[in-house]
Chains A and B, each alone.
Chain A
Amino acid sequence: MNPVAVLGVLAGLVAVATALGFLWRSQQGRVHHARGTTVIKASDIPGIRRFALGATFVQFSTEVCHPCKVTHAVLGEVAGEHPNVAHVDVDLTHRPDLASQFRIMQTPTTLILDGKGVVRARIGGAPRRDAVRAELERILVPA
């Protein structure tokens, strides 16, 4: 291969990697509203007996995931602002069955459930604090 073509391939590789990076970044923390048809039983989620009256953040993590720790801090903080909001962090390392059940493709993934256990939103990647607060407003004060 001639040197000009090689340089072209290398530049293309950098361009592809950059495009993938921006694509990945744009998907991180995006809130997907659920249609409200999926209901989760509290007994399916390890670590809790019943859902909080207002809302519950169900966070799925693994131990090799740094953004999960950041997310844990953000969700814990927002949950702490409301008396009826709980946060549970599930380590999928020990529970691959839950990863399959909830079709988790990346960690952290957060489900926001209302007081009845209905999935109202799903967030892949580390969520932004204000986006979580806005979502909570929507659930706690029904229009």
Chain B
Amino acid sequence: MTTTRPTLVAKPGQKGIDPRSPRFGAGITAALLLVVVGLGLVTPLGVTLAARATEPGFLLFVIISALFAWGAFAGVRRHPYGAIYRALIRPRLAAPTELEDPVPPTFAQGVGFVITLAGIVLHLAGVPYALVIAAAAAFIAAFLNSVFAYCLGCQIYLLLVRAGILGRKGAATA
């Protein structure tokens, strides 16, 4: 007995992506998040909202969060890091041995966006170390994704399904 053909490529109508592209992007993100943690630790928390909103570490964090939103809502294939990868890195590498469905890395971008958005809101509200802790959490996820090919969707998504936040109960089964 055997099963259906393995589906390493994306669903029909969707082009698969080079799995090294999101890992390259996660590497840039991890490095930038480490800079945010460093800046957040050397800069004392601003007393006024305006002071907190203009701290350099915070501004960089907002840019990172916006890039996560870009990947999550426009799809990873339209992400600027993907364009950098295709222009500079991809031509220097061998062809990918397999293609990846864009859905898992897009979900990971969404998780990154939620974590960074929470950091932004709490920092603006004046919560001490909110920026540092959110950036450190996002750093660990991005670092594991980039270096170890850790799959965020494999655990977080399942937790959300079990909690009833995601998923379609009672729909057709696989």
Contacts and interface: CB of A to CB of B under 8 A. Distances in A.
A90 interface: yes
Contacts, number: 155
Interface in A99-143: 99-100, 104-108, 125
A129 to B, nearest CB: 13
Contact of A73 (B8, B101, B164, B171): B8
Contacts of A31: none
A70 B21 CA distance: 18
Contacts of B101: 63, 66, 69
Contacts of B38: 6-7, 9-10
Given A21-B150, A108-B154, A84 B1 contact: yes
A61 B42 contact: no
A62 B158 contact: yes
A107 B154 CA distance: 5
A61 B41 CA distance: 40
- Size category of the B interface is 35 or more
Contacts of B42: 1, 3, 6
Contacts of B153: 62, 64-66
B104 A64 contact: yes
B45 to A, nearest CB: 12
Contacts of A72: 3, 6-7
A99 B165 CA distance: 14
A94 B172 contact: yes
A9 B41 contact: yes
A61 B2 contact: no
Interface string B156-174: 0110011010111111111
B170 A94 contact: yes
Nearest to A87: B3
A86 B98 CA distance: 25
For B1, B38, B147, which residue has the most chain A Cβ atoms within 10 angstroms? B1
B53 interface: no
B144 A85 contact: no
B97 to A, nearest CB: 11
B102 to A, nearest CB: 10
Contact of A91 (B103, B150, B173): B173
5 contacts: A6-B38, A65-B151, A72-B7, A76-B6, A94-B167
* 4 closest Cβ pairs, A-B complex: A73-B6, A64-B153, A91-B174, A46-B173
